[in-house]
Amino acid sequence: MERNLMAWFPEELENVKAHNTTEDIIDWCLLRSILNDTKQVQMDDVTFMIPYGTDSTVRFRNLCTVLFWLYCNTTAKISVFISETQEGNSKSEWFKWPEASAIPALPYRLESRTVDQIKDVIWRNICNALVPTGVLNAPDDISGMVEHKKKFMNQLSVIMELRSDDAPFHRTKYLNEMLSLATTPFVVNHDADVLLPQQTLIKTMSVLRNAAIDVVYPYGFGNYQLQIHDLESSRNMDLIIGGDASSLIATVGIGTLLWSSKYGHSIFFKADSYRAIHGENESFISWGAEDVERYVRCIKMGLNISRLPEATVFHLEHPRGANSSEQNPAFRDNEKLWDEIQVLTPLELIEYYNNCSYYKRYGWRDISAS
Please write down the HEC assignment for all residues of the chain.
Answer: CCCCCCCCCCHHHHHHCCCCCCCHHHHHHHHHHHHHHCCCECCCCEEEEEEECCCCHHHHHHHHHHHHHHHHHECCEEEEEEEEEHHHHHHHCCCCCCCHHHCCCCCEECCHHHHHHHHHHHHHHHHHHHCCECCECCCCCCCCHHHHHHHHHHHEEEEEEEECCCCCCCHHHHHHHHHHHCCCCEEEEECCCEECCHHHHHHHHHHHHHCCCCEEECCCCEEEEEEECCCCCHHHHHHHHHCCCHHHHCCECCCECEEEECCCCEEEEEHHHHHHCCCCCCCCCCCCCHHHHHHHHHHHCCCCEEECCCCCEEEECCCCCHHHCCCCCCHHHHHHHHHHHCCCCHHHHHHHHHCCCHHHHHCCCCCCCC
Most confident listed range (222-226, 244-248, 329-333): 222-226
Residues 150-174: tens digit of each pLDDT? 999 999 999 999 999 999 999 999 9
Model confidence at 249, pLDDT cuts 50, 70, 90, reads confident
pLDDT of residue 248: 83
- Rounded CA gap, 63 and 316, in Å? 9
Which stretch of 15-24, 77-86, 106-115, 331-340 has the lowest confidence by average pLDDT? Answer: 15-24
What one-letter code names the amino acid at 28? Answer: W
Q: In sequence order, which residues have a C-beta less than 8 Å from that of residue 218 and are 6 or more positions away?
A: 196, 200, 201, 203, 204, 266, 268, 307, 308, 311, 313
- Rounded CA gap, 155 and 172, in Å? 23
pLDDT of residue 291: 96
pTM: 0.88
Domain residue ranges of the chain, discontinuous segments joined by +: 27-359
27-359 topology per CATH: Spore Coat Polysaccharide Biosynthesis Protein SpsA; Chain A (3.90.550)
Compute the radius of gyration of the chain from its Cα atoms.
23
Q: In 3D, which of 111, 79, 98, 265 has the Cα closest to residue 180? A: 79
Cα first-last separation, the chain:
89
Contact assessment for residue 288 and residue 335, using Cβ atoms and an 8 Å cutoff? yes
Q: In 3D, which of 152, 167, 171 has the Cα closest to residue 51? A: 171
Q: In 3D, which of 92, 89, 27 has the Cα closest to residue 61? A: 92
pLDDT of residue 12: 75
Residues 30-58: tens digit of each pLDDT? 666 666 666 899 999 999 999 999 999 99
pLDDT of residue 258: 77
pLDDT of residue 15: 73
Contact assessment for residue 266 and residue 196, using Cβ atoms and an 8 Å cutoff? yes
Three-point CA angle 251, 255, 259, nearest 5°? 85
Residue 20 has pLDDT above 70, yes or no: no
305: number of Cβ within 10 Å = 13
β-strand pairing of 266-270 with 215-217: antiparallel
Model confidence at 134, pLDDT cuts 50, 70, 90, reads very low
